[in-house]
């Protein structure tokens, strides 16, 4: 039986996600709210898109809290199977205390679900009338990533990669790679792709290395400790650069960025192929635009504001403004 699903993605990437769902899976949709998309009449046999569309963060089904649990239990089971969540489902209930106890008892008895408010996979929201599979459930797609507090959410990385338009064999560089989220998400869509991941912080590099080894990607992504302003990478050798730059809040500072960004931009200009393309995420927008304006040979072709976790950074799509090595007249 077809089902209606509500999916979420990072605010700002809705149009990209909707376009991909229509083109690649024939799924029609409409925007409900920022970051929230309604998919109507999705065949239950065709839920594979949930695990392959990495820009999706959560999926929910409409749920009538007054109805018998079994109907929603069956749909949630199929959704959980399609994203690789193992039974028994761990759940929590969002409701006033007295209602919450009743709902917990019903779903524990009828469905054999386990009440796990701090480690849930399914959130039953009584007020909103939805049963939602949350981001914890999505870890099943990747295995659990070793992360640091500044790590970029997977759904955001997926949107950045979508803007980067990587070709199957492109070499992708992340010069501020952290725990290598960009390289790992990219590897799902591009089984023949290659990557370079660099970060100044040795703890991040250790975690990145482990994350890559855990997924058998160590042969495809070269990871090293290094400085984004002095990369051990040949001139004009990198097809795509995708990175989440230090915003100057949790990592670095605004005054650091005034020094750092122009040097990183010059280095990116040096390593980028003539037809190369970059997607650079930052919340330090003025400093970024100033740095880019002062970088010969690069230009911003698109700015996409994104919203997640209380920040509103922009993803800047940057290309060459002229062939490398030629002086401006
Ligand atoms: C926003 S975090 C990137 C998070 C990453 N996308 C992830 O998912 O883990 C910015 C990263 O830039 C790194 N960084 C700061 N200055 C750097 C530099 N000069 N060269 C290389 N990496 C640098 C920090 O160590 C941090 O890991």
179 Cα–ligand 1 center, Å: 9
**37/26 Cα distance (integer angstroms):** 15
Q: Measuring CA to CA, how many Å separate 81 from each of 107, 137, 144, 194?
A: 18, 10, 17, 30
DSSP string, 54-116: TT--EEEEE--TTS-THHHHHHHHHHHHHTTPPSSPEEEEES-HHHHHHHHHHHHHHH--EE-
Q: Is the CB of 225 under 6 A from ligand 1?
A: no
Domain 154-320: top CATH class: alpha beta
Ligand 1 close to Cβ of residue 182 (< 6 A): yes
Nearest-atom number in ligand 1 for the CA of 201 is: 25
CATH 3.30.2130.30 positions along the chain are 3-142
Structure tokens at 75: 């749909």
Predicted model pTM: 0.92
* 315: DSSP letter: E
* pLDDT at site 217: 94
- Where does 138-268 show beta strands of DSSP type E? 171-174, 194-199, 221-225, 238-244
Within 10 angstroms of residue 270's Cβ, the number of other Cβ atoms is 16
Backbone angles phi, psi at 229, to 5 degrees: -90, -10
- Cα-to-centroid distance, 199 and ligand 1 (Å): 6
CATH class of 3-142: alpha beta
Ligand 1 binding pocket includes 179 (Cβ within 6 Å): yes
pLDDT tens per residue, the chain (329 residues)?
888 999 999 999 999 999 999 999 999 999 999 999 999 999 888 898 998 888 999 999 999 999 999 889 999 998 988 888 888 999 999 999 989 999 999 999 989 999 999 989 999 999 999 999 988 666 677 778 899 999 999 999 999 999 999 999 999 999 999 999 999 999 988 999 999 999 999 999 999 999 999 999 999 999 999 999 999 999 999 999 999 999 887 777 778 999 999 999 999 999 999 999 999 999 999 999 999 999 999 999 999 999 999 999 999 999 999 888 754 44
Looking at residue 248, its pLDDT comes to 80
Give start-end residues of each CATH 3.40.50.150 domain in the chain.
154-320
pLDDT score at 136: 66
pLDDT computed for residue 326 by the predictor:
55
Cα of 313 from ligand 1 centre, angstroms: 15
Ligand 1: centre distance to CA 258 (Å)? 16
Q: Is 151 in the pocket of ligand 1 (CB under 6 A)?
A: yes
User: Is the shortest distance between the CB of 36 and ligand 1 below 6 Å?
Assistant: no
256: Cβ below 6 Å to ligand 1? no
pLDDT given for residue 185 in this prediction: 94
């Amino acid at each position: 039986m077809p089902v209606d699903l509500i999916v979420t993605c990072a605010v700002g990437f809705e149009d990209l996600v909707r376009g991909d769902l229509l083109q690649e899976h024939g799924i029609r949709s409409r925007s409900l709210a920022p970051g929230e998309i309604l998919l109507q009449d999705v065949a239950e046999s065709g839920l594979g898109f949930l695990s392959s569309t990495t820009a999706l963060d959560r999926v929910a089904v409409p749920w009538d809290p007054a109805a018998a649990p079994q109907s929603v239990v069956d749909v949630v089971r199929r959704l959980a199977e399609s994203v690789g969540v193992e039974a028994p489902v761990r759940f929590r209930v969002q409701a006033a205390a007295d209602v919450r106890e009743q709902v917990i008892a019903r779903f524990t008895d009828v469905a054999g679900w386990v009440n796990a408010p701090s480690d849930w996979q399914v959130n039953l929201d009584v007020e909103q009338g939805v049963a939602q599979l949350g981001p914890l459930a999505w870890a099943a797609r990747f295995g659990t990533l070793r992360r640091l507090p500044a790590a970029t959410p997977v759904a955001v990385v997926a949107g950045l990669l979508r803007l980067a338009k990587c070709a199957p064999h492109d070499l992708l560089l992340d010069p501020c790679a952290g725990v290598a989220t960009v390289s790992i998400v990219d590897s799902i869509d591009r089984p023949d792709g290659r990557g370079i991941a660099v970060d100044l912080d040795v703890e991040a590099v250790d975690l990145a290395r482990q994350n890559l080894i855990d997924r058998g990607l160590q042969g495809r992504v070269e990871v090293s400790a290094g400085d984004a302003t002095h990369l051990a990478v040949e001139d004009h050798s990198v097809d795509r650069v995708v990175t989440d730059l230090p915003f100057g809040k949790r990592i670095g500072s605004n005054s650091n960025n005034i020094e750092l960004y122009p040097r990183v931009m010059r280095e990116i200009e040096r390593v980028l192929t003539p037809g190369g393309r970059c997607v650079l995420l930052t919340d330090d927008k003025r400093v970024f635009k100033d740095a880019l304006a002062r970088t010969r040979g690069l230009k911003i072709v698109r700015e996409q504001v994104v919203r997640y976790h209380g920040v509103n950074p922009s993803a800047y799509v940057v290309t060459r403004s002229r062939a490398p090595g030629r002086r401006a007249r």
